[in-house]
Structure 1
Amino acid sequence: MSSMISLAEEQELRLGVVNFMNTTPLTHGLELNQGIELVPKVPSELINLVEQGEVDFALSSSIDYQQSSCDVSVLPVSALSSDGETLTVKVCSRVPLQDITEVHCDTDSHTSIVLLQIILQKQYGNSIKVMPKDLRSMIARNEDLPEAVLMIGDKVVTSDLTSSHPYEADLGAAWKEFTGLPFVFAVWLGQSDLLSHKAKQAATAIDRQLRCNAQRIEQVVAKNAASRGWESNLALAYVTKHMDYSWTNEHEESLELFYKYAYELGLIEQNKPLAFFRY
């Protein structure tokens, strides 16, 4: 009896995920697979679940690979990226971007804050002060937002800032223009000492779910758009034309370049070579 319990426990797979619209092609229906538990958090909190052993893998902010307090590796499957405009990662300002001195940044993502500083420094020669801000709560209370803000996620689409903050840049589009590469916002991270069969189990399940959802993407969008404040047609265009869920040599090259720039600008303390799970 005890051996049967041990086997069941060994096969249990815990995945940290984000409940944004852009992750639905990856995660919708995953929880229906036997032995898989999904643990939802905002992107900035997922790496903590990995470090504390509360999940096996998490769709973590890509910069957290460099900043994690424990040794982590990348599961090379179905990253969350964009090959140009994202719609949902934007810096919005009342003044021209080259005149910004500080940006109040959405606390939901670590990666976007670093990307913002790289884009403003490399493209505008502008070194800014980063001010963490709970923009989600401010928007919910209909409060006036600061002069310059970095916003990510569904609230970018559901909050119209075009009149109050007429100067903006989509960070995915800016990275594409600057480097010619897609930008990787999130990757599946896990503690490096995880057994290879866990990595294989996770990669197989994630890839299979993505393929399944791609074949019925209109249904997946219809089930998830309204609850996240999206109009269905826009949500469908978003996940099929703006978001990219593949993992290629270009994605690896882009991630390495992102880390290189972050290190050169002093935004991370080290630039570890990418390490991957092998299975």
Structure 2
Amino acid sequence: MIRVGEILYTNVHPFFFYMDREKLSAHSHFIPSIPARLNVAMSQGEIDVGAISSFAYGENAENLVLMPDLAVTSHGSVGSIFLFSKVPIEELDEKKIALTHSSATSIHLLKIILQRFYGHRSIVYTTMMPVYQDMLAEHDACLLIGDDAIQASWREQGQMYVYDLGEKWYHFTSMPMTFAVFAMRKQALEAEPGALRALYHDWKQSEEQARVNGYEQLAQSVVKDHGGDVGFWQGYFQNLQYRFGRKEQRGLLHFYRLAYEEGYLPRDVDHLSVWDSDIGIHSIN
């Protein structure tokens, strides 16, 4: 049985919304959780495949293989990863920032942006539960991701300085940013290639169907769970990119390079291991 990690955020919903779970249940068991927990589960061998934070792949690249052309990326605004600040971003040095405990990629992306692009190297960071009011009670800014970030942006519009990290990354690098990748453990690929191939095709087909339908049915479902309106959620999904082509790969490798230079990764991840069902695993530099 393949253990499948399923991120509990709307940004990956297009991959899961139209999946034939009944058919896949013959060989796959789905484990829903937040990205940070799935990252740990993948590194400890508790799940075999699924969407994880792109930073988590960088930490464990020697044991993982990426599925082709499946990712959550943005070419600019991502719409669900926000820094909320009481002061302009240029004035955050020597201030205190609360970080969500839910993700690895966004935390390190924020630190890279503030350190490399703004020169802020004296910020005090605290990781905590993603509760907006608690985070800002004793901090000058807070980082939220996913549905927590979206709902906070609705409430705080015009009340705080709000910065989209995807937009900031693109402004300074002119590169896409990849926030989540679909990875599998090498041992699982050796043991269950057929089951993983079936999962890959269902993920790909679900995303394509959601896109062809203009994300309307998906948006209607999300409104019931998270509020907002159909138009907002359609625009949100349409703004994101769900491919992982050469541009996205180059952007991710650049992120890894900066993370290594800043001391956040123990080694320089200078290539990506990507699976191809026809030719096997190949390296992308």
Q: TM-score, normalised by structure 1?
A: 0.86
CA distance in 1, matches of 2:90, 2:23: 49
Equivalent residue number for residue 228 of structure 1: 226
Which secondary structure does the structure 2 equivalent of 1:14 belong to?
Answer: strand
Once the two structures are TM-superposed, the CA of residue 143 in structure 1 deviates from its matched residue by: 7.8
- The answer to whether 1:19 aligns with 2:11 is no
Which residue number corresponds to residue 208 of structure 1?
205
Cα distance per residue 1:195-241 (max 9 Å; x no partner): 24344223212111111222332011101223123322111100012
1:146 pairs with one of 122, 139, 143: 139
Aligned position for 2:280:
none
Of residues 73, 76, 79 in structure 2, which corresponds to 1:84? 76
Q: Give, as a single letter, the amino acid of the residue that structure 2 aligns with 1:240.
A: Q
Q: Deviations over 1:67-94 (max 9, x none)?
A: 2397112112320111111121011111
2:39 touches 2:56 (CA, 8 Å); kept in 1?
A: yes
Structure 1 residues 179 and 70, CA gap change in structure 2 (3 angstroms): closer
Superposed displacement of residue 66, structure 1 = 2.1
Q: 2:50 maps to what in 1?
A: 58
Residue 157 (1) aligns with residue 150 (2):
yes
Q: Cα RMSD (Å) of the superposition?
A: 2.2
**How far did residue 105 of structure 1 move?**
0.3
**Residue identity opposite 2:108 in structure 1:** V
- How many residue pairs end up in the alignment? 264
Within the alignment, does 1:104 sit opposite 2:98 as a pair? yes
Find the aligned partners of 1:118 and 1:258 in 2 and give their Cα distance.
Answer: 9
Supply the distance in 1 between the matched residues of 2:54 and 2:236 (Cα, whole angstroms): 20
The answer for the alignment partner of 1:73 in structure 2 is 65
Structure 1 contact 43–60 (Cα < 8 Å) conserved: yes
What's the TM-score once normalised by structure 2's chain length? 0.85
CA contact (8 A) 2:98 2:136 kept: no
Q: Which runs of 5+ in 1 are unaligned?
A: 1-11
**1:244-271: per-residue Cα shift (whole Å, max 9, x none)?**
1011100110110000011111121112
What percentage of aligned pairs have identical amino acids?
A: 24
AA aligned to 2:144 is: M
Question: 1:157: Cα distance to partner?
Answer: 2.0
Looking at structure 2, the residues matched to 97 and 107 of structure 1 have their Cα atoms a distance apart, in angstroms, of 21
Query: What is the CA–CA distance in structure 1 between the aligned matches of 2:276 and 2:68, rounded to whole Å?
Result: 9
Change (3 A) 1:33 1:245: farther
List alignment gaps of at least 5 residues for structure 2.
278-285
